[in-house]
Amino acid sequence: MITLILNDRLIRTDRPAGLPLLDFIRYDQGLRGTKIGCREGDCGACLVLEGRLIGERLRYRSIVSCLTPLANAHGRHIVTIEGVNGVGLNPVQQAIADLGATQCGFCTPGFVMALSGLCLSEYPVTAEQALAALDGNLCRCTGYQSLREAALRIAAQLPAAPEARSLAVLAEKGFLPAYFTQIPERLAGIAPLRHKPRPGRIHLTGGTDLFVQRPDEVLDAPVNFFAGKKALEKISFRKGVCTIGSAVTATDIARNPVLQQHFPRIREHFSLIASTPIRNMGAIGGNIANASPIADMVIFFLALDADILLRSPQGLRQLPLKRFFLGYKQLDKTPDEHIEAIRFALPGSNIRFHFEKVSKRTYLDIASVNTAICMEMNGDTIVRIGLSAGGVGPVPMFLTETCNFLSGKPLIESLLAQADEVMQQEISPISDIRGTAAYKRLLLRQLLYAHFAELFPERSFAAFFQSLKR
């Protein structure tokens, strides 16, 4: 029995675990403020808040209900637009009304929920964070300036420090109804959903890929759910090695303080992946298992030469991530195995890392080509290098031949042009909706140069730059 708190009501239901949360909210519960838009997680009209207990702390994040399986709401507080209403307009709603930040009104509930999520954020509230909170919502009417002004007004009204924005304080100031203060105790009384993975079922963590590709199959077929399993939602560190459970979301990876120490630009790099609500839901295990040739998180960790851990009734199997992809959408995985974690060595002080992505839009878009690089240097000599690329072959590629060519060589200008020649022989892009094969070859060549330009700003690499013009 799936049990959740929907706004201020405790709900127990035996509806299918793979039912989209959006449909449960609208049709089963009659809460029509959560809108049906794209059903692909792009528009934000179905945005809700998901509150969950992390230890004794209640954490809220925005999610798109169209891509959320009902089972993932078990033990959570799901908040719709109806759940933040008070006697009059709350400060978020008032700001939107005062500044003319709504016209047709279809997208307005999503924007209200996004800004309500900002109020509940576990991170400091800044103007930058306020604007970023809106990045998963689309509006066809306002031109966004009025919405940006509303977000900035809310940010100015909120205490910046998370500890100063307790549920009690937000309720007292009218940002939330008073019932929010009772949610932690009520959630603590919900027992975990007992579910043992079984062979032959669809594996599902965040749902951000499967609900777009095969929604009817997810609804009707038996499914193994991994969200909410604490063992798979951990990031652990031991003796210089990081292990990330398959149910860890992109947001949790980018926000992890230890990973931020080793990858100072990880939040910037991960901001190129999808939108805030999708990063709040999308898990690393699903990104890997989807086997997309342009999977952003896969490309990031491929460059680190990560290993993948697979669990089955027979035990645990570990293999290099670069060997997991056998062909287009083909994996080295048996039907009774599921992804348990990925594991990689944390980069030391002599290692430089960089991630690049090119898409039709800078943000909120699928890559045409993406790539990452991890280099260990000894003075001017490349000791070891990991170079990955997506969109230039049938699978996410670890460019072994290019890495072998670069390893052990002094970093001089002519080396990059030679490395590009090797790389062009190693890749095999095709023409598709994201660009021609020739365009993708050019992109990867430019991104190879961008890696070195970013990692070695003191060098000009003039010879390689001139080769780009030929």
Q: What is the pLDDT of residues 19-59, one digit of tens each?
A: 999 999 999 999 999 999 999 999 999 999 999 999 889 99
Nearest CA among 95, 52, 89, 58 for reference residue 72: 52
Q: The domain that contains 280 carries what CATH number?
A: 3.30.465.10
Residue with tokens 């919405």: 147
Q: Could you give the count of Cα atoms lying within 13 Å of 397 in the half-sphere of its Cβ?
A: 21
Q: Note whether 31 and 156 are same-domain residues.
A: yes
> Can you give the pLDDT at residue 377?
93
- On whether the CB atoms of residues 391 and 385 are closer than 8 A, the answer is no
- On whether the CB atoms of residues 28 and 13 are closer than 8 A, the answer is yes
Whether 220 is in a domain gets the answer: no
Q: What is the pTM of this model?
A: 0.94
Residue with tokens 């690499």: 461
Tokens of 386: 């990991």
> Can you give the pLDDT at residue 470?
53
> Can you give the pLDDT at residue 465?
62
Nearest CA among 205, 219, 218, 221 for reference residue 278: 205
> Can you give the pLDDT at residue 468?
57
Q: Note whether 398 and 421 are same-domain residues.
A: yes
Q: Note whether 338 and 356 are same-domain residues.
A: no
Whether 307 is in a domain gets the answer: yes
Domain that holds residue 109: 1-194
CA 181 distance to own-chain centroid: 29
Whether 369 is in a domain gets the answer: yes
Q: Note whether 386 and 362 are same-domain residues.
A: yes
Pairing mode, strands 351-358 and 307-312: unpaired
Residue ending a domain, among 321, 346, 371, is 346
Q: Which residues of the chain have pLDDT under 50?
A: none
Q: Note whether 187 and 314 are same-domain residues.
A: no
> Can you give the pLDDT at residue 467?
57
Number of folded domains in the chain?
Answer: 3
Q: Note whether 267 and 356 are same-domain residues.
A: no
- Give me the chain's average pLDDT, please: 93
> Can you give the pLDDT at residue 190?
94
Rg for the chain, CA atoms, rounded: 23
Q: Note whether 134 and 17 are same-domain residues.
A: yes
- On whether the CB atoms of residues 250 and 256 are closer than 8 A, the answer is no
> Can you give the pLDDT at residue 196?
75
Q: Note whether 150 and 258 are same-domain residues.
A: no
- On whether the CB atoms of residues 158 and 125 are closer than 8 A, the answer is yes
Burial of 407 (0-12, 13-18, 19+ CB in 10 A): middle
Whether 223 is in a domain gets the answer: no
Give tens-digit pLDDT for 126-152: 999 999 999 999 998 888 999 999 999
- On whether the CB atoms of residues 68 and 19 are closer than 8 A, the answer is no
Q: H/E element holding 112?
A: helix 108-119
- On whether the CB atoms of residues 244 and 39 are closer than 8 A, the answer is no
